[in-house]
Amino acid sequence: MDGTEGKNGHFASESLFNPFHPVLGQQSSQPRDFPAKLTGPRSTRSLDRLQPCQRHPLSVDFEEIGWSGWIISPRGYNAYHCRGSCPFPLGENMRPTNHATVQSIINALKLSEGVSSPCCVPDKLYSINLLYFDDDENVVLKQYDDMVAGSCGCH
């Protein structure tokens, strides 16, 4: 193999134009060693762009966002959020939709102006239960859907 040929013997360009040959990305289980100049605080944003799409903690404090006047419990929760890049080619670990795969190819080949790479977003959301006061000052226990990012993917 000369570096342009994949593990299965198909060239990346073949896979781009043949929907029956998936484009596979190679993922390393070893951490990457970045040059010292990239690890300082000035480069935090650029390092975020190098990190693959993944879920990160996001602590929500209802008092901080002004909701503690009506929410009794919990006082907060971990909503999580999705951050990271969706680089071409999208591997299965990125949980891409078929649309994201096609969009990634169009973006990589620059076939259409203004088409960005897919975005790292929640692809599974979970509910939480909130105990709160309603408008009539009744105490209500209600399940709120789609409040916690359960997993992330490129879409």
CA separation for the pair 60, 6 (Å, rounded): 44
- The pLDDT of residue 107 is 92
pTM over 0.75: no
- The pLDDT of residue 49 is 57
Give residue 61's identity as a one-letter amino acid code.
D
Topology (CATH level 3) of domain 12-21+42-154: Cystine Knot Cytokines, subunit B (2.10.90)
Q: Does position 85 have pLDDT exceeding 70, yes or no?
A: yes
